[in-house]
Amino acid sequence: MYILYREGRYTREDFERLWPQMVEIARKNNDWDLLSTVRLLTPQEWLRDAWQKVLAESRAGT
């Protein structure tokens, strides 16, 4: 799964809007590995931070 960053059209706000939808798809399908396939062409730290949050939440059982 890819979120493309093209010509500055995707912002952090776009990512934050799309990420919960991806998490919900992974949760419904019980496929947490799906989220590890998400790639942002730039900036990578957004994905890393969001992924760490999901891992922490899943370990906490929320």
Q: What is the mean pLDDT of residues 14-30?
A: 85
Confidence (pTM): 0.49
pLDDT in tens, 33-58: 877 776 655 566 777 778 888 888 88
What is the radius of gyration, based on Cα positions, of the chain? 12
Task: Report the percent of the chain where pLDDT is more than 90.
Answer: 5
Phi-psi region of 54 (alpha: psi -120 to 50; beta: other; left: phi over 0): alpha
CB atoms inside a 10 Å sphere around CB 1: 12
Helix (H, G, I), strand (E, B) or coil at 61: coil
Please answer whether residues 1 and 22 qualify as being in contact, where contact means their C-beta atoms are separated by less than 8 angstroms.
yes
Please answer whether residues 35 and 54 qualify as being in contact, where contact means their C-beta atoms are separated by less than 8 angstroms.
yes
Q: Which residue ranges make up each domain of the chain?
A: 2-60
